[in-house]
């Protein structure tokens, strides 16, 4: 089966997933450090560090997404899709676990 007809839809889905992943990660960074209850200044440094790392990860996702699309490499595009989905799922899982541990059920 050829992935050629799926390249553009996968590229667009990846673009949307990367944007969702970035926004979820950006807003969840404070949640990860608020649960520790430590020094607020230390928490702010940690939040900035996570957000810088997030910028790097999003840039890499988009680089490989574009590379796969413009080289017509469906396999690489599928790998990027899976990585973004796993990353997004992992963030949501950690959020769920953190809220459950804190006694907040949302």
Q: Name the nearest CA neighbour of 21 among 74, 85, 102.
A: 85
What tens-digit pLDDT sequence spans the chain (106 residues)?
A: 677 888 999 999 999 999 999 999 888 877 777 665 667 788 788 888 888 999 999 999 999 999 999 999 999 999 999 999 999 999 889 888 877 776 655 5
> Which residues have a Cβ under 8 Å from the Cβ of 69 and sit 6 or more positions away?
7, 8, 10, 11, 77
Dihedrals φ, ψ of 76, to 5°?
-65, -35
The verdict on pTM exceeding 0.85 is no
| Sign (positive or negative) of CA dihedral 51, 10, 81, 91 | positive
Query: What pLDDT, on the 0 to 100 scale, is given for residue 13?
Result: 94
Residue 16 has a pLDDT of: 96
Look at residue 35 in the predicted model and tell me its pLDDT: 61
What one-character DSSP code corresponds to residue 1?
Answer: -
Residue 102 confidence (pLDDT): 66
């Amino acid at each position: 089966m050829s992935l050629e007809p799926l390249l553009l839809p996968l590229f667009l889905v990846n673009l949307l997933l990367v944007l969702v992943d970035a926004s979820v990660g950006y807003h969840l960074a404070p949640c990860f450090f608020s649960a520790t209850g430590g020094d607020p200044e230390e928490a702010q440094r940690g939040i900035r560090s996570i957000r810088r790392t997030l910028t790097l990860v999003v840039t890499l996702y988009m680089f490989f997404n574009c590379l796969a699309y413009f080289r017509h490499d469906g396999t690489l595009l599928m790998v990027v899709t899976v990585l973004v989905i796993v990353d997004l799922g992992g963030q949501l899982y950690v959020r769920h676990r953190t809220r459950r541990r804190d006694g907040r059920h949302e």
